[in-house]
Amino acid sequence: MDFPVDNRVGQVYEPFKVRFLQRQITGLAGDEVLIKVRASAICGSDLHIARGLHPSAPLPVTIGHEFSGDVAAVGADVRRVRVGQRVCVEPCIVCGECDACRRGEYGHCEHISFTYRIGNGAMADYVVVKQPYVYELPAGMDYAVGALMEPLSVATHAVRQADVRLGDTVLVVGPGPIGLMTAAMCRRAGASRVIVAGRSAGRLDIARQMGATDTVDGSAADPVEEAMCLTGGKGVDKSFECVGKESCLVQALAALRACGLCTVVGIYEKSPVQLPVTQLVSRELRLQGAQGYCWDFPVAIDAAGDLPLEKLITHTFPMEQLQQALDTALDRNSGSLKVVLKA
């Protein structure tokens, strides 16, 4: 491929407004890979960014980190990746040298960043990444589904952190994309009962298709009471808060059995929150967070073939319509789950 390569990159420059920056890619370092973007999905964190409320990504910032595409060129030292491969990308950037990285816990790298935060967002024609973060898509996987390997890895990490096991009972609060994928991965891990609570009938229907054994319409019933009823009054073994709201976290804690574990996955635009701390003590509840991924991409890609991920894709747009796509994802009346831009 001849360099320089013209590239446009989508950027949120003020709340709710995007534009394309025009840039040139002049060449590749020895360990770098140039990917022609074929599909790029809007993430929940992109919506936090669009509102100007993401705690770790102040505006202006390029967006897009859930994507798939074709390898267009490789650096001189790249051996594992070849031109023409259909791939997805783990979009984190770590140093490999700090204590966390040396322990193999690169998700807690002291210098961790993500491609989009350094101006290399995937709402673009091309993205440059390092070789170790490139994964080949399974044969037959659609590019749009391939773009969902990143959020599926987030859900995979949360489920692995919670150590969901055969026979566990689980409550997932929030049937957004991450919540639905978390429910699916819990069921795949062997959970005997997976309860998904939310307020969208359409999303709860998809939850059942993704593997949920039970759903609770939070606008008509109390998720805590329903979870208690479904578990014979004991409460669930594990719960996941996938919304990022105080009320949802309180529910996820209240539905646990004694010594149960709640894993927080949602991003909180408003912090701090108030919690019923007495419950944590008297019932010896455990509360933990799960962020991103660490050695989870291969597990997620392997699991993807067993999951109907295409059901999560509700809207597609050409890359030129990034503003319309973002508006659709932000509109609670649009019925959107995953909005994907295609090149």
The parts of the chain modelled with pLDDT lower than 70 are: none
Beta bridge partners of 317: 341
Taking the domain 5-147+308-342, which CATH number applies?
Answer: 3.90.180.10
Report d(CA 230, CA 169) in Å as an integer: 10
Query: What separation in angstroms does the CA of 152 have from each of 172, 236, 271?
Result: 15, 23, 26
Residue ranges, CATH 3.40.50.720, the chain: 155-289
Residue ranges, CATH 3.90.180.10, the chain: 5-147+308-342
Reading the block at residue 27, the tokens are 């060449």
* Helix 177-188 × helix 201-209 angle, to 10°: 30
Nearest-5° Cα angle at 121, 118 to 124: 140
Report d(CA 100, CA 146) in Å as an integer: 29
Report d(CA 216, CA 255) in Å as an integer: 13
The correct CATH number of 155-289 out of 3.40.50.720, 3.40.50.10490, 3.40.309.10, 2.60.120.380 is 3.40.50.720
Residue entry with tokens 């509840």? 285
Residue 56 has a pLDDT of 85
Contact 72, 79 (CB under 8 A): no
* Burial class of residue 98 in the structure, from the number of CB atoms within 10 Å of its CB (0-12 exposed, 13-18 middle, 19+ buried): middle
**Tens digit of pLDDT for each residue in 226-236?**
999 999 999 99
**Tens digit of pLDDT for each residue in 133-192?**
999 999 999 999 999 999 999 999 999 999 999 999 999 999 999 999 999 999 999 999
Query: What separation in angstroms does the CA of 317 have from each of 67, 312, 320, 322, 324?
Result: 14, 15, 8, 7, 8
Reading the block at residue 35, the tokens are 């990917």
* Burial class of residue 4 in the structure, from the number of CB atoms within 10 Å of its CB (0-12 exposed, 13-18 middle, 19+ buried): exposed
Residue 269 has a pLDDT of 86
Contact 196, 155 (CB under 8 A): no
User: Which residues make Cβ contacts (< 8 Å) with residue 217, sequence separation at least 6?
Assistant: 198, 199, 201, 204
Report d(CA 72, CA 80) in Å as an integer: 14
